[in-house]
Structures are given as C-alpha cells and as structure tokens.
Structure 1
C-alpha cells in the first residue's frame, strides 16, 4: 500500500537555551493512502504538533516530512499553501469559519482561488456536500446562527470541497456532546470509507476505537501502536476495551 505521508526522525523544538526541549523527539511515522489513524497521549505529549508537522502547517527542526512523494521542507510557502488547499483538508475542534460569510460561502472559500470561472460548479458541489451531511437548509445562515454540531458539519464540508487525499482532524469531537460527537464520527468514517485518508488527534477512546490504527505518544515520542481492523459497528465495545487497556498499560 502506498504511503501518502512519511515522517522520518522528525524533531520540533520550543524554547531557547536551557529551556529548549523537543516536543517531537526523532519521531518517525507513516500514513497509508486511505488509512484511518488516530493519535492519543496526555496533554503536552506532542499530538497536535505532530499533526501540524505532518501537514506542513508547522516547520520542523530536524528530520524530514514527505507528502505524496514531495519533501515539504523543500517547498516554498506558496507551494505548501497550494498543497494544503488542494490536497489536504482540516477539521479543528473549533471550526475556523469567517464571521462575515454565510455557511455556503465559507464552504466554497478554499476553492475560489482555483475556480473563479467555475463558481456555479463549486457551489453545486458545496450544496451536494451540505445535503449529504444534513445541513442543506443552513446555507444562508451565518456562523452564529447554527449549533456546534452543524458548524462542525460545515467545517467538514469545507475540508472536502477540493477532493483532498487526506483529512487532518485536531480533536474534531472535543467540543461536542456525545450524541453529536458520534454523528460527526459517522461522517468522518464515511469519508474514510470512500477512500480519503484520515488522521485524528483525540483524547477520546470511543473516537480512537473507530480508527484502523492508533499511535500513542508520550513526551514527544511514539511509544506504542495498536492495530485495529476496519470498523464494523458491531465490535465497538471490544475495540474500546482494547484501547483503554492499552492506555492503562502505557499510563495515559
């Protein structure tokens, strides 16, 4: 299976002098095409930093990160921005949508630079995504007129507008109640089933249990991994048990 992301001995440091420490300490990772991966660990273990490094949102101080065969550190800021816009999608705990745009315009925004002559086509796609994920009636509302779950669905629609090869999620269910979190995970699982790779940072064993593989981080290192089969739905309780047992074993 082809690897879409390869991180080799990646290092990311913060601080200066005696206060300098490695948030990523020679971390090597890979994500296969179409794979569903989660990253777990205590606060400060480097989970989000790893996510930002693998997506090129944050530079690294050592090692190498390749995306789809390209060394991210060798690219210009414009080239990096183009890759993130056209090949990657991002879903955060708090969707970063613009207050001065309605929901529909927020969703199509990432496509506007490359599709100014095809606004109608992009809008049609955005409406199809909104219908698919149950927010079709919200296109003219602003972001203060919808619920957190609806806002997260809009963020997911935006992340998919350019047909990305991979979705990066940083605690995408962290601010949601359990019912809405399950609905969002259903959507993300469906996206993965359709062929898009997904990597999520999460503290939630229920979320991690729905992924194919879990990487556990501690003090800037990946200390263990847990391989799970494709999620069937019926085996959730057993999967959660495996995840929590591994968390207890590691001490997180």
Structure 2
C-alpha cells in the first residue's frame, strides 16, 4: 500500500528561550492508505502534537509532512483548509458542535462550507449516515439533548460527509462510558474496513488493540512500532496483551 501521509525528520518546538519545549524531535512516520494506526504514549510525549502536524492542523518547526504527495508546509492557509475539508475527517474527544444548530445542521456543515455543489444532496447523505451510525430519527435534536455517545456518533457522521481519505481521531472514546466506547470503536473499525485510513490517539490499550499497528511515543520521539495484523481481529485478548506488554517494555 502507498503512503497517504509521510512525515520526515519532523521537529516541533513550542515557546522560545528558556521556555522552549521540543514536542517532537526528528520524528519519522508513515501512514499507509487504508491503514488503521493508533498512537499511544504518556501525557506530554508528543502523540497529540504528532496528529496535529500530520493533519496540517499545526505547522512544523522543521522537516517535512506530505499528504498524498503534497507538501503541507508549501500550501497557503486556504489550500490547507481545502485539503482538511475535502480529504480529511476529524473526530475529537468532545465534538465541537454549534449549540445554535441541531444535529443534522451540524453534520451537514462541512458540505455547506464547500459551496452549492458540495451541499447538493447533503441532507440526504447526512440522514443516511445518521441511520448507519445508529442515530437516525435524531436529526432535529438539540446537541444538548443527546447522550455523549450519540453526540460522538454525530461527530463521526460530520467527519464522513466529504468522503475523506483519512480520519484523524484524538481520544474519541475518552469521554465515554465503556459501552459507548466499545460501540464507537466498532463503528471506526467498520469505517476502516470500507477503505478509510484512520490515525487515532488514545491512552487506552483496549482501543489501541483494534488498530493494525500502534506507534508508541515518548519524550517527543516514536520509540516503538507494533504490528498487530498477525493476530486475529476477534482475538482481542491476545491483541490487548501484546499492546500492554510493549507498553511495559518501553516504560509507558
């Protein structure tokens, strides 16, 4: 499989002088088309920063980040915004929904921002996605009148509106109970099986065990790359044990 995202010698520095922090230190990372990759590491290890720079949400201090062979640092803000809107989807721990819009209007927002052509048929598509994600019939609900799991499902619908090549997910199950978290991960696995690449940041070994591979970060570097394809998708015990064993080995 070809790489969809390639990061080469990425350095990310926050602050200046004595306050300077090197969040990423010469990191190399490749995400292949259709691959499900999880990123794990202790707080402050650089995992969320890595997701932000690989998605173009944040700039790099030096190095290179290419998305589908396009150098992100060479694009204008409008160019970056266009790629994020049309080729990428984003899922966060707390979905950033507009409180003055109902669930349906929040979901179709990315398509509406793309102009009339992109918005054509967006209501029907959004309703179909909502049904697929198990929240059909809640189109006109206020965002404050649904559960956390339902709101996260709406966030996934919104992320899928423009047929993204890759989903970037930052702790998508972090604010959910165990039942809702399992359901959301089941949806993400299904989305990945249909061909969409996923890069997911998590602190939960059970979540990471769903991925094809796990990148472990520590002190601003990727210190281990664990492949899980050799384990059966249904043998979550073996997959989770492998993740936990690697975490212990590298001191995470």
**TM-score bracket relative to the smaller structure:** over 0.9
The residue matched to 1:112 in structure 2 has which SS? helix
- RMSD of Structure 2 on Structure 1 (CA): 1.2
Q: TM-score, normalised by structure 2?
A: 0.98
Spell out, residue by residue over 1:187-245, the C-alpha distance to the aligned partner (whole angstroms, 9 max, x if none): 00000000000000000000000000000000000001100117754210000000000
Residue equivalent to 1:132: 132
CA distance in 1, matches of 2:241, 2:89: 30
Residue equivalent to 2:56: 56
Contact 2:231 2:238 in 1 (8 A): no
Work out the number of aligned pairs and report it: 252
CA displacement at 1:16 relative to structure 2: 1.2
Residue equivalent to 2:225: 225
**Of 227-236 and 155-164, the range deviating more from structure 2:** 227-236
Contact 1:211 1:230 in 2 (8 A): no
The residue matched to 2:95 in structure 1 has which SS? coil
Spell out, residue by residue over 1:82-103, the C-alpha distance to the aligned partner (whole angstroms, 9 max, x if none): 0000000000000011101100
The residue matched to 1:27 in structure 2 has which SS? strand
Residue equivalent to 1:195: 195
CA distance in 1, matches of 2:51, 2:183: 23
The residue matched to 2:137 in structure 1 has which SS? helix
CA distance in 2, matches of 1:189, 1:12: 30
The within-5 A match list for 1:56-205 is 56-117=56-117, 119=119, 121-205=121-205
Residue equivalent to 1:31: 31
Q: Flag structure 2 segments of 5+ consecutive residues without an equivalent.
A: none
Contact 1:168 1:198 in 2 (8 A): yes
Contact 2:111 2:118 in 1 (8 A): no
CA displacement at 1:183 relative to structure 2: 0.1
CA distance in 2, matches of 1:216, 1:48: 12
CA distance in 2, matches of 1:87, 1:119: 16
**Which contiguous aligned blocks of 4+ residues in structure 1 show a shift greater than 6 angstroms?**
none
The residue matched to 1:138 in structure 2 has which SS? coil
Residue equivalent to 2:240: 240
The residue matched to 2:23 in structure 1 has which SS? strand
Is residue 6 from structure 1 mapped to residue 2 from structure 2 by the alignment? no
